[in-house]
A and B are shown apart, each in its own frame.
Chain A
Amino acid sequence: MAQEKQILFERDELVRTVNRMAHEIIEQTASPSDLVLIGIRSRGVHLARRLARKIEEVAKTTPPVGVIDVTPYRDDRAREQDPRAIGAFEMPVDVDEKTVVLIDDVIFRGRTIRAAMEAVARLGQAKRILVAALVDRGARELPIRADIVGKNIDPGEGRRVNVLLEESDGVDQITVTDWQGRRAV
């Protein structure tokens, strides 16, 4: 199949979007000092760190950044009653009475976010949980919403949205490819 790659965002636009999202997170929070950012592995973590830096710059308070890997919670994996599922947190944070922002690069079916919400409950009682995603590609399979969205992209069935970040990919870019083109970006 012909590889068709479409570049939607280059570096400047991506950086601007992340900065705007940081402002939106602050706007949606009564008190920025109550914020806790939780990045979903792996690109969500890079985004969470970037958002934390920007929030620090704007609101003069540094939100703690937690890291979560929802793989053990994902419902599409075989599920055993396994204690491993207790802590998908590589970096747990205190969430009691906090506004928790779950951060991922792309929100799609909603299953990752649902799993992340379940995981957050294991850390404590958050006052509020928000979702921030750089890309919302719609087509949800669960009644889950993204509160803060960088860009809405509907690439169509069989197409994949790729968020590339300096930290992991050496470049800041959002591209759309065929599913098969996933490794070849």
Chain B
Amino acid sequence: MSGRNLISIADLTNGEIEEIFELADAADKLRADKPAGGRIMATLFYEPSTRTRLSFESAMHRLGGSVISCSDMKSSSTVKGETVADTAKVVSSYADVLVVRHYWDGAVQAMAEHADVPVINAGDGGHEHPSQTLCDLYTLKKEKGRLKGLTVVICGDLKHGRTIHSLVFALARFGASVVTLAANGMELPQYVLERLEREYDYTLAPVATGDLNAVVTETDALYLTPKQPHQLALFTQLDPGLQTRLNTMVSGLRYDAFYMTRKQKERMKEGTTGNSYPTIGSEFLREQRFKNTVVMHPLPRVDELSLEVDQDRRGIYFKQAAYGVPVRMALLKFLFAQNEAKKAGAKKAATWFESPETLGPQCANPNCITVTEPASARRKFDFLASGPGGALILRCLYCDHRIKVQLVGHVKSKRYCAYDIALSDTIKNWYKNKELVIFDSIKAAEEIGYEPYKSGPQRNIMDQTAIENAVRDIARQILGDCEDLDRLLVLGIRSKGSYLAQRIAVELATAQKRKIEIGEIEIYGSGDEIRRLSPADPDAGPLNLKDREIVLVDDVIYTGRTVKSALDIIFRSARPKSVRLAVLIDRGHREVPVKPNYVGKHIPSSERERVRVKLREAEHDEKDKVVIYSINSPVEQPAGELG
């Protein structure tokens, strides 16, 4: 990455946004000066767009530059499996700026890291859409003369609207008040609220008094207040009688703008049930106290804005769309000038947490680039040490989603324990010394050889003979259920599951006097998730899962989440005929509805116990055995002992 990008609205300071607005005011001059003469903009749109793309392209032409484009990313190398990282590297040698829209959250950030030219985010999944926000702010400023102190009501789908997320942050920064009227189930996502709190000093509180009572009842309303009171009011309304209330707001608050959004049909199936979607029509326009309230909409609209509003002076959404070109001209000019002057970005000086081990925490957002294409984006997180009950929260650099830290480990001592607030000082030290590891699960910790900090005495529950018998018994049952041995694939979950899969396959091969195909699936790694173990035929090509009878093998089943992840990975790749599950130990405590078909031994256990399968393949010089022991919670010991 070189120079400045626009990925999030947070990449620009307020002063810089004002500077862009001044440039936009003088768009005619920009058009005459042609400051982009000789430059090329590449537009890469992985999702459809009319306004954003055309206004960017028009802006570039008006600045005297030219545009190259791939009309349909489905006809590009993407279908051949090119990563976004590679696309960014390649295309940045063809152009001076990239404008990218992608369906994955964080994809544009990942591309910016690999591009040699500035990258502008034209929408990434459900995450952000900062250039639209610039247009929205510019429109508001043009109409109202200022941004500070405005009260903007944001209506509709606040959950899926990336435009909304960027806009809310920007309004907060300029000191505008935001009232949200979310359609049922489409409230602002938690991470947006948290970021508002953390970065802009807004706090969430129930609405208790004043004119908001007329709008919503106390219980279903939330009120966001900044440290300076009355800077921002935010509430989410869950009541199905939304429309009536929207029309009958009796309020001492002055509402400067209604910002409508359409239901994001492409992110949410249009349904028969979402009938409380807020709309604006003639009743709204007749309401005296909205006489100076402008109505905005990022367009396209569906049916949330009636055509009557078009004729009214307050319906300014076509004007808002028209501002798209001057604002984007100004943005391009600004970025070119910044990059010429080699000015550094406004933010992201923060240090990010990257796991010092091969395994580490994974973003919980399945649409995040770190999950969908880990090869393009190495997982990086920011610490937000402010979850409920002192929980330690990580925020993904790419998509802003947060995950709660469950397990922490120390890289030198190779030990792990559950995170607890009592450990926060210890953990700060570990982090400072780059010794902190974070795990999503005990399984991940043990996968790379970490041991619990404190554990009780071990008790043997299976010896070598018992394990051999269990494996043989599982193999026999698999044979009984298998319809077609040619389709059979024994797929171990790495690494203990893989060893067991190999042992099961040996039993099957011996019994049937034929080769059995074995594969391995990696849950916590990145990249090659499913690979062939044997037969080791160099010409065999990649492992094909389509229409296979898969037997998934793991050592211990506990919450079931590992198996669920394995199923997700399998189904991302192909549609197998069936998947059956074989485990050596079932210890109960399921958190997802997964059920093994073959179980070596059921072991009733408490949640404070650990069951460990020790296999010769993994633990050298040791005999096979299964042990159980209890783990002392770190709360019961002084934190000092941990380090």
* Residues in A lying within 8 Å of B, measured CB to CB: 45, 64, 66-67, 69, 71-72, 75-76, 81-84, 86-94, 96, 102, 113-114, 117-118, 121-122, 124-125, 127-131, 141-147
Contact = CB atoms under 8 A, between A and B. Distances in A.
Given A45-B273, A67-B271, A83-B266, A91 B593 contact: no
Contact of A117 (B47, B185, B592, B596): B592
B552 interface: yes
Contact of B577 (A94, A117, A141): A141
9 contacts: A83-B267, A86-B367, A90-B269, A92-B185, A113-B593, A121-B364, A121-B366, A121-B568, A143-B581
A11 B304 CA distance: 40
B404 A93 contact: no
B186 to A, nearest CB: 7
Across the A-B interface, give the 9 residue pairs with the lowest CB-CB distance, nearest first.
A90-B271, A145-B595, A83-B103, A143-B581, A87-B268, A87-B267, A141-B578, A131-B593, A75-B575
B392 interface: no
A31 to B, nearest CB: 15
A183 B591 CA distance: 37
Nearest to A70: B269
Nearest to A107: B593
B450 to A, nearest CB: 22
Contact of B269 (A72, A75, A94): A72
Contacts of B366: 118, 121-122
B458 to A, nearest CB: 29
A122 B367 contact: yes
Nearest to B159: A92
Of A102, A141, A144, most buried by chain B (CB within 10 Å of CB) is A144
Given A89-B269, A114-B567, A122-B365, A144 B404 contact: no
A135 B564 CA distance: 23
Contacts of A69: 269, 271
A128 B567 contact: no
B264 interface: yes
A32 B560 CA distance: 22
A143 B563 contact: yes
B594 interface: yes
A104 to B, nearest CB: 11
Nearest to B578: A141
Of B125, B160, B364, B571, most buried by chain A (CB within 10 Å of CB) is B571
Given A129-B591, A143-B580, A143-B594, A67 B266 contact: no
Given A86-B126, A90-B269, A93-B185, A141 B579 contact: yes
A88 B266 CA distance: 9
Interface in B575-625: 575, 577-581, 591-597
Contacts of A87: 160, 264, 266-269
Given A69-B271, A87-B269, A90-B273, A145 B594 contact: yes
Interface in B181-240: 184-187, 190
B281 interface: no
Given A75-B575, A117-B564, A141-B577, A130 B593 contact: yes
A142 B579 contact: yes
A129 B560 CA distance: 10
A89 B403 CA distance: 22
Interface in B230-280: 264, 266-274
A122 B371 CA distance: 12
B543 to A, nearest CB: 17
Contacts of B593: 102, 113, 117, 129-131, 144-147
B640 to A, nearest CB: 31
Given A83-B103, A128-B591, A66 B268 contact: no
Given A90-B273, A143-B563, A114 B571 contact: yes
Contacts of B403: 125
Contacts of A90: 268-274
A143 B581 CA distance: 6
A154 B125 CA distance: 43
A102 B580 CA distance: 21
B126 A144 contact: no
A49 B594 CA distance: 25
Given A83-B267, A96-B190, A142-B567, A76 B578 contact: no
Interface in B156-188: 159-160, 184-187
Given A75-B575, A144-B594, 10 more contacts: A76-B575, A86-B103, A90-B273, A91-B184, A96-B190, A118-B568, A121-B364, A142-B579, A143-B594, A143-B596
B575 A92 contact: no
A126 to B, nearest CB: 8
A96 B391 CA distance: 14
Given A67-B271, A121-B364, A141-B578, A86 B125 contact: yes
A75 B577 CA distance: 11
Nearest to B403: A125
A143 B269 contact: no
A118 B403 CA distance: 17
Nearest to A42: B272
Contact of B271 (A91, A141, A143): A91
A89 B366 CA distance: 15
Interface string B557-569: 0000001100110
B592 A129 contact: yes
Contacts of B571: 75, 114, 118
Contacts of B577: 141
Contacts of A89: 185, 268-269
Nearest to B184: A91
Contacts of B266: 83-84, 86-87
A92 B186 contact: yes
Contacts of B595: 143-145
Contacts of B190: 94, 96, 124
Contacts of A71: 269
Contacts of B47: 83
